[in-house]
Amino acid sequence: DINVKDALVRTALHQAAANGHEVVVQLLMNKGADINAKNSSGLTALHQASANGHEAVVRLLVDKDADINVKDPSGLT
C-alpha cells in the first residue's frame, strides 16, 4: 500500500517531501500516493516541503495538483 502510514500518520510521501527527496517524491506520486494526505499534525507533504525550504519538491507537488488551499491546524496554507 503506497499510502501506508506510520505511528505519526505520516506516509512515505510526507517523509520524502519533508527531506527534499525529489526523485522519491516523483516516484511515489507516479505510483498513486495520496498527494493531499494529512499527518497527525494536520500537515500535507506540501506543507512539509514548504516549511523545510524544498522549492523543487514544492514545484513537483503543485504541478501534480496538490491542494494549495489545505490549511494546517493554525489555519495557514
Q: Average pLDDT of 44-51? A: 97
Do 71 and 77 touch, CB atoms closer than 8 A?
yes
- Asked whether the predicted pLDDT for residue 76 surpasses 90, the reply is no
List the chain domain ranges. 12-63
Give the homologous superfamily in CATH for domain 12-63.
Ankyrin repeat-containing domain (1.25.40.20)
Q: DSSP assignment of 26-51, as one string?
A: HHHHHTT--TT---TTS--HHHHHHH
Look at residue 20 and tell me whether its pLDDT is greater than 90: yes
Q: What percent of the chain has pLDDT over 70?
A: 100
The pLDDT of residue 37 is above 90: yes
pLDDT reported for residue 59: 98
Note the pLDDT of residue 65: 96
Residue 1: predicted pLDDT? 93
